[in-house]
A and B are shown apart, each in its own frame.
Chain A
Amino acid sequence: MIPAKFDYIKATSIDQAISLLSQHGYEAKILAGGHSLLPAMKLRLNRPSVLIDIGGIDALGSITDEGDAIKAGANCTHYEIANSNLVKSHVNVLSQTARVIGDVQVRYRGTIGGSLAHADPASDYPAAILATDATISVRGSNGARDISATEFFQGIFTTALGEDEIITSIRFPKTANGTYVKFFQSASRFAVVGCAAVKNGNGIRVGITGVADTPYRASAVEQAYDGTTSAADHAIDGVDVMSDHFASEEYRAHLAKVFVRRALEQL
């Protein structure tokens, strides 16, 4: 299938990308890996008139050790994140997550920044972003700012990102070993339920994706955690659970508890 007509601009710097975005407003879309955007455009569900390709901006592409944190540029692909030794050593829950996104071809092209900005409620990263308490660094015409994990996700395909802002990097505090477990949607292989859990001192942090229209920190689980798996019963406390063709509200709620339990078992 062929997308509706658009103009393509390859941005060579972050500043240029932001200025193009300000200039074209809502008619423009940022193209990163393109693995969410391009299929939607081919189906003509999404029809931006301008595509700003940030794929060539080197400044967005590296994974670095920042001392107490690992910083991943927005353009890092799922493959790079899954296989980065820095990520494996210091934020292994993130590499576990990246490894089960899509398929091998998708992981080579899809980027963490693109995935986060797209904010599909069934995408995998948000669970790890929340569980590691990562910070999303963004830049727009009003300058740079950091958005905390819990503030970033705001709803289905909705984030705290301003209209002319782009994600530049994500900063993951180094964490103890964690785990990401996922119940795959059988067709798309997105997460029906995805649960990331990491040790945090004596406690834990738990991020859940796929269950609600917004990924969330399972605070009730974190509070109830007593070293056993019984806290899993609190997986959906205070949460509006989604329902769709692949999992009703009741079943998804059940799965959330099962997968939190499985994550806790692996901690």
Chain B
Amino acid sequence: MEINLSVNGSQVARDVTPMTTLSDFLREHLSLTGTHIGCDTSSCGACTVTMDGKAVKSCTVLAVQANGSEIITIEGLSENGSLHPVQEAFKEHHGLQCGFCTPGMVMTAVDILQNNPNPTEQEIRHGLEGNFCRCTGYHNIVKSVQHAAQSLNA
């Protein structure tokens, strides 16, 4: 089936099978391999991208459902080669180790801060409940989001 959508600001048109998930579409059809797949049950959040401005688990959206939408992936977050403030904060505060959950974490953090520019620690922790990290114990991820909030508000 033919789908047309905007990905990271570019209009793309592709022919996909109905079985293709948005995550597979991004990875296999567009080679945007920053979106990772860590589970089959919509639990881990590694595949999080934004769809029409909202964080979604792209493994649980069919590519055909994303027809006509605007998708931003981790690859589309930084502008002109400079890191987005959330990416910057993750780097500054060691919010990542193996890097596999990182794109999903960052995309979710961007969403959290869009909705709540001054989240408390508990609000950040709740906001990240749909994303697993096995490396960091979440400590520096939460710190990173706190600092990202500060720099976005500055």
Direct interface between A and B, CB < 8 A: yes
Which residues from chain A sit less than 8 Å from chain B, CB to CB? 1-8, 10, 31, 34-35, 38-39, 42-43, 51, 53, 55, 79, 102-106, 108-109, 188-189
Q: B18 near A: Cβ within 8 Å? A: yes
Contacts A1-B40, A103-B130 known; list 15 others, CB within 8 Å.
A2-B24, A6-B19, A31-B65, A35-B42, A38-B61, A42-B21, A42-B40, A53-B65, A102-B42, A104-B111, A104-B112, A104-B127, A105-B57, A109-B60, A109-B61
Chain B residues whose CB sits within 8 angstroms of the CB of A8 once the complex forms: 1, 18, 62, 64
Give bound CA distance, A55 to B48, whole Å.
Answer: 20
Q: Are B54 and A108 closer than 8 Å at their CB atoms?
A: yes
Cβ of A106 to closest chain B Cβ, rounded Å: 6
Please, which residues of chain B bring their CB within 8 A of the CB of A103?
A: 45, 129-131
Measured CA separation A103–B86 after assembly (Å): 20
The interface of chain B, by Cβ under 8 A from chain A, is: 1, 18-19, 21, 24, 40-43, 45, 48, 54-57, 59-62, 64-65, 67, 108, 111-112, 127, 129-131
Give chain B's interface secondary structure class: mixed
Provide 13 A-B residue pairs closer than 8 Å at the C-beta atoms, listed in order of the A residue: A2-B24, A5-B19, A8-B18, A35-B60, A38-B61, A42-B21, A43-B41, A51-B18, A53-B65, A55-B65, A103-B45, A106-B130, A189-B129
* A92 vs chain B, min Cβ distance (A): 19
- Nearest B residue (CB) for A3: B19
**9 smallest beta-carbon distances between A and B, as pairs:** A103-B130, A8-B18, A108-B54, A1-B40, A103-B129, A105-B57, A39-B41, A105-B130, A38-B60
Given A3-B19, A104-B112, A105-B130, decide whether A34 and B55 contact each other with a Cβ distance below 8 A.
Answer: no
Residues in A neighbouring B112, C-beta threshold 8 A: 104
Chain A CB within 10 A, most for which of B19, B21, B127:
B19
Q: State how many angstroms separate the Cβ of B19 from the closest Cβ of chain A.
A: 5
Please, how many angstroms separate the alpha-carbon atoms of A8 and B42 in the complex?
21
Per the bound structure, the CA–CA distance linking A5 and B19 in Å amounts to 7
Q: How far is the CB of B63 from chain A (nearest CB, A)?
A: 10
